[in-house]
Each structure stands twice: as C-alpha cells, then as structure tokens.
C-alpha cells in the first residue's frame, strides 16, 4: 500500500453491526512479520485495548483470568499473552464497560478468519468480509474531532474514547 493511504477500521460501526447480529463472524486483520503477529493478535484486539479500554486501576479482567494471560504494559495498556490465553472469556464477562466484544477471543486459533493486511488481495478480501462500511481505505489522517485515531503507521481506528463526549 502507498504510504499516504491507510486502512480505517470503524469500531463504532462494528459494535453496531454486532449489536444487530451477535452471531456475526468478524474477520480479523493483522500484519504478519511484525511484533503484532505473535499468536494471531488482531488489529481489533490492539485497538480495543488501546482505545476502548478504561484502563481500570485494579483491573478485574486481570484478576479474573485463570491463565495469568493479561497484564498491563508500561503505558497501562492491557496486553494479552496469546500463548497463555485459553479463550475462557472470563475477562469479557467481568469487564464492567463491555470493552471486549463477546466474540473477542473465540476465533483466535482459527487462521481462516485472519487476513494479512500487507497483501493487497487479502486486504480486499478483508474489506469485503467485514460488515459494510467497517473497513475502508483513506488518504485522511488522525482526526480526533471525528473520533479517528492512529493505531500505527498503517491503521486508523474510529472509536469513542472514554474521555470523549459522544455527540
């Protein structure tokens, strides 16, 4: 992908789509050959823990995890160790803010639902597989007034931050 073009993932639209159909199978995008690919950690997971999570001081998700798979990094962002996680979803259930979606870790060992976003064909398949309008290509940049934030050099995320007033 050209440097000026970015992938915009609209977490707000994704939540609406999931609210309408909780059985929806959400494809996951990731970048292979990066630190993020270890254990198929998806863009959605990185986005949720970075932007949606309230970063609770005594995080109940960490205490409830039977596998000690969750910990905070030095910025207070939750990191899930995919090699330890047993997909029990206790953390999803206990989070008082519904940060994690109900399907969140369900498919994390199913490679068929993962798309390599460095590959143009797979990127197009990822866009087509996601609910309409959730993923798009944009030449725009980070724009907090539109609830759009940069996850990394290639990805923009649209999400309400907990410090942001909803319109």
Residues of the shown chain interacting with ligand SF4 in the complex, contacts defined by CB under 6 A:
53-56, 59-61, 64-65, 67, 69-70, 78, 80, 85-91, 95, 97, 99, 105
Nearest distance from C-beta of residue 33 to ligand SF4, angstroms: 25
Query: Nearer to ligand SF4 by C-beta: 30 or 117?
Result: 30
Judged by beta carbon, residue 13 or residue 81, the one nearer ligand SF4 is 81
CB of 110 to ligand SF4, least distance (A): 15
Query: 129: Cβ–Cβ under 8 A, 6 or more apart, which residues?
Result: 27, 115
Cβ-proximal residues to 163 (8 Å cutoff; 6+ apart), any chain:
none
Shortest CB 132 distance to ligand SF4, Å:
28
Which CB atom, from 93 or from 143, has the smaller least distance to ligand SF4? Answer: 93
Closest CA to 42 of 119, 114, 128: 114
Which of 87/116 has CB closer to ligand SF4?
Answer: 87
Residue 108 beta carbon to ligand SF4: minimum distance, rounded to whole angstroms: 9
At its nearest, how many Å lie between ligand SF4 and the CB of residue 80?
5
CA separation, residue 149 to residues 7, 64, 118, 124 (Å): 12, 30, 20, 22
Closer to ligand SF4 at the Cβ: 18 or 88? 88
């Amino acid at each position: 992908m050209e440097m000026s073009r970015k992938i915009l993932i609209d977490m707000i639209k994704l939540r609406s789509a999931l609210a309408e159909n909780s059985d929806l199978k959400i494809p996951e995008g990731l970048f292979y050959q990066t630190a993020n690919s270890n254990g198929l950690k998806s863009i959605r997971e990185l986005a949720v823990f970075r932007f949606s999570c309230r970063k609770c001081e005594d995080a109940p998700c960490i205490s409830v995890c039977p596998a000690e798979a969750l910990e905070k990094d030095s910025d207070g962002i939750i990191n899930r160790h995919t090699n330890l996680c047993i997909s029990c979803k206790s953390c999803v259930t206990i989070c008082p803010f519904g940060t994690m979606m109900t399907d969140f870790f369900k498919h994390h060992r199913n490679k068929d639902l993962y798309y390599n976003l460095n590959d143009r064909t797979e990127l197009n398949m990822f866009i087509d597989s996601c609910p309409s309008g959730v993923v798009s290509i944009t030449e725009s940049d980070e724009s907090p007034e539109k609830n759009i934030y940069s996850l990394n050099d290639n990805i923009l995320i649209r999400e309400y931050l907990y410090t942001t007033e909803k319109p």
